[in-house]
């Protein structure tokens, strides 16, 4: 069937769609320090210097699907993607932002082999460098080393049909965290009580907002897509496991959650937003320590789309049966009290691999993990994620199991089998040649970028000037050419495409 599309309509769709990053605004236009370079020589000469466009041929129908495959959204107490119910199974990994591309690639490959469709990974490194990489070495200063790593993570995720969840800051001191913000303000390391200045001090809150603003408006150097417009991202966590240590009533943390959630949504209404909490009730943990968190009131903000909780029986002093009840109670409250979807951001059971009874510990972990997946599925939990997936280092050795929660795949064969089986309860498998609407993402910024992939001739200098962010993405990606049809349509004002 032949369809005639007005180019003006195409441009309108591209520029107005939340999927596109075309217009050259101060924030979203072109990468800092980048210059536009006009292609030179003949079309034949240009083609001889680049890979054949035919290697990247996709049908126009695929282009349309890529451009229109949108964001996961909340629908009542569930999630929806492309009109279908969406559920997810994830692995956590914190080291992606400072490790090599080889190590990043392995995690995505291992995650795919486990049947996962989401990775949750850190989007912060404050006041420090980790192996030469930082996001925010000092307050209000944002380092390309961290953001270029995140660019690649998102690029690789899209290639792998994965989505990403990213927390903006850590409650803990690993990689800086909230205490680093307070230290910037006080000039010295904060006490436990001073930690809560993070939630109440206007200067500190301003630094957090500025960081979030930069993060959301960041334009990916691999894809040309602003993070806020990238459907590869499933959602954001305001923080990883936020706690207010001086608050036994919720009056410190809860207003911060509402304020920051509203702020994030004001910039990025596209993505799901979570508070990232552990999910205690009554603002105290099982040891009587103050957390300032309540599963219901801390997630009642209308700007929070999806409730979250974590589950670590070793840390929380829970038996296996209590751990499963932990899930059931929170799933019920999320659905019936909050009226929201819910996901388990982290769960884990410790195994000391060097202990004499390591195999017994591993068997116990496997049993609990199997029951966690089945309980989460039967109670209507929308997503579930284990802590943590690790792989090999660049020297060939396994990344150390520092906290005794690590899963290696396929090395931990029994655990890997259980995770893969558990993931199948949330992520439907796809047959070869069929597209899975749950995992469909796109590395294209729009229909025009998709058209680059079906190209057979020169890249238009006109579009190079007009659509700078997309063009730059096309040059820097592997699929870089634009169809002569699309170029000529600038003058004919119409284009005939065959579906």
* pLDDT mean over 50-65: 37
Q: Which of 159-173, 220-234, 259-273, 287-301 shows the lowest mean pLDDT across its residues?
A: 287-301
Look at the chain and count its residues. Answer: 499
Residue 90's closest CA among 439, 450, 340? Answer: 439
Q: For residue 68, is pLDDT > 80? A: no
* pLDDT mean over 295-312: 98
Q: Which of 5-14, 78-87, 280-289, 490-499 has the highest mean pLDDT?
A: 78-87
Whole-angstrom CA distances from 202 to 14, 29, 163, 310 are 38, 30, 33, 29
Residue 446's closest CA among 9, 60, 64? Answer: 64
Is 175:125 a contact under the CB 8 Å cutoff? yes
Residues acting as catalytic residues: 241, 346
| Spatial distance between the Cα atoms of 212 and 198, rounded to a whole number of angstroms | 15
Q: For residue 436, is pLDDT > 80? A: no
493 against 172, higher pLDDT: 172
Q: How many helices (H) and strands (E) does the chain have?
A: 17, 15
Looking at residue 406, its pLDDT comes to 98
| Spatial distance between the Cα atoms of 290 and 297, rounded to a whole number of angstroms | 15
Q: For residue 470, is pLDDT > 70? A: no
How large a percentage of the chain has pLDDT more than 90? Answer: 70
pLDDT level of residue 394 (50, 70, 90 thresholds): very high
Looking at residue 29, its pLDDT comes to 29
* pLDDT mean over 132-152: 98
Looking at residue 120, its pLDDT comes to 99
3 state SS of 120: strand
Instruction: Give the residue extent of every domain in the chain.
Output: 2-44+442-498, 70-423
Q: For residue 484, is pLDDT > 60? A: no
226-266 confidence digits (pLDDT tens): 999 999 999 999 999 999 999 999 999 999 999 999 999 99
* pLDDT mean over 302-326: 97
How large a percentage of the chain has pLDDT more than 70? Answer: 72
Q: For residue 487, is pLDDT > 60? A: no
Q: For residue 40, is pLDDT > 80? A: no
Q: For residue 44, is pLDDT > 50? A: no
What does pLDDT average to over the chain?
A: 80
Looking from the CA of 106 toward its CB, the CA atoms found within 13 Å total 20
pLDDT level of residue 375 (50, 70, 90 thresholds): very high
409-435 confidence digits (pLDDT tens): 999 999 999 999 999 999 987 544 444
CATH number of this structure's domain 70-423? 3.20.20.80
Whole-angstrom CA distances from 281 to 29, 275, 296, 299, 446 are 45, 15, 8, 11, 44
Q: For residue 67, is pLDDT > 60? A: no
């Amino acid at each position: 069937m032949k369809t005639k599309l007005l180019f003006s309509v195409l441009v309108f769709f591209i520029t107005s769609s939340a999927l596109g990053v075309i217009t050259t605004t101060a924030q979203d236009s072109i990468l800092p320090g980048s210059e536009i370079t006009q292609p030179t020589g003949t079309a034949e000469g240009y083609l001889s210097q680049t890979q054949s466009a035919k290697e990247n041929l996709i049908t126009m129908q695929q282009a349309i699907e890529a451009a229109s495959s949108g964001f996961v959204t909340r629908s009542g107490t569930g999630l929806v993607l492309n009109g279908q119910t969406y559920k997810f199974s994830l692995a956590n990994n914190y080291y992606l932002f400072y490790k090599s591309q080889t190590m990043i690639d392995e995690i995505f490959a291992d995650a795919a082999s486990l049947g996962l469709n989401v990775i949750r990974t850190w989007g912060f490194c404050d006041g420090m460098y980790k192996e030469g990489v930082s996001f925010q070495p000092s307050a209000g200063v944002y380092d390309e080393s961290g953001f270029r790593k995140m660019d690649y993570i998102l690029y690789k995720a899209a290639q792998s049909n994965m989505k990403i969840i990213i927390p903006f800051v850590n409650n803990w001191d690993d990689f800086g965290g909230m205490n680093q913000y307070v230290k910037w303000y006080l000039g010295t390391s904060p006490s436990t009580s001073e930690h809560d200045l993070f939630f109440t001090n206007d200067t500190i809150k301003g630094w957090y907002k500025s960081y979030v603003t930069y993060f959301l408006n960041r334009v990916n150097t691999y894809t040309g897509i602003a993070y806020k417009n990238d459907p590869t991202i499933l959602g954001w966590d305001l923080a990883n496991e936020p706690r207010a240590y001086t608050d036994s009533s919720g009056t410190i943390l809860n207003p911060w959650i509402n304020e920051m959630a509203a702020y994030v949504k004001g910039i990025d209404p596209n993505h799901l937003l979570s508070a990232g909490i552990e999910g205690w009730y009554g603002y105290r943990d099982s040891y009587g320590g103050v957390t300032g968190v309540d599963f219901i009131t801390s997630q009642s903000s209308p700007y929070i789309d999806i409730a979250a909780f974590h589950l670590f029986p070793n840390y929380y002093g829970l038996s296996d049966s209590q751990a499963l009840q932990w899930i059931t109670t929170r799933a019920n409250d999320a659905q019936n009290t909050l009226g929201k979807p819910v996901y388990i951001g982290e769960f884990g059971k410790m195994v000391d691999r060097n202990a004499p009874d390591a195999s017994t510990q591993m068997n116990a972990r496997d049993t609990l993990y199997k029951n966690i997946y089945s309980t989460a599925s039967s109670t209507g939990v929308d997503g579930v994620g284990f802590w943590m997936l690790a792989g090999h280092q660049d020297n060939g050795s396994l990344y150390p199991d520092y906290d005794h929660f690590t899963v290696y795949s396929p090395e931990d064969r029994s655990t890997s089998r259980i995770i893969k089986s558990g993931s199948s309860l949330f992520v439907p498998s796809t047959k070869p040649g069929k597209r899975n609407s749950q995992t469909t993402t796109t590395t294209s910024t729009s229909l025009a970028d998709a058209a680059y992939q079906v190209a057979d001739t020169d890249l238009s200098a006109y579009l190079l000037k007009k659509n700078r962010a997309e063009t730059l993405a096309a040059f820097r990606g592997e699929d870089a050419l634009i169809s002569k049809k699309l170029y000529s349509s600038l003058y004919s004002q119409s284009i005939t495409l065959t579906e």
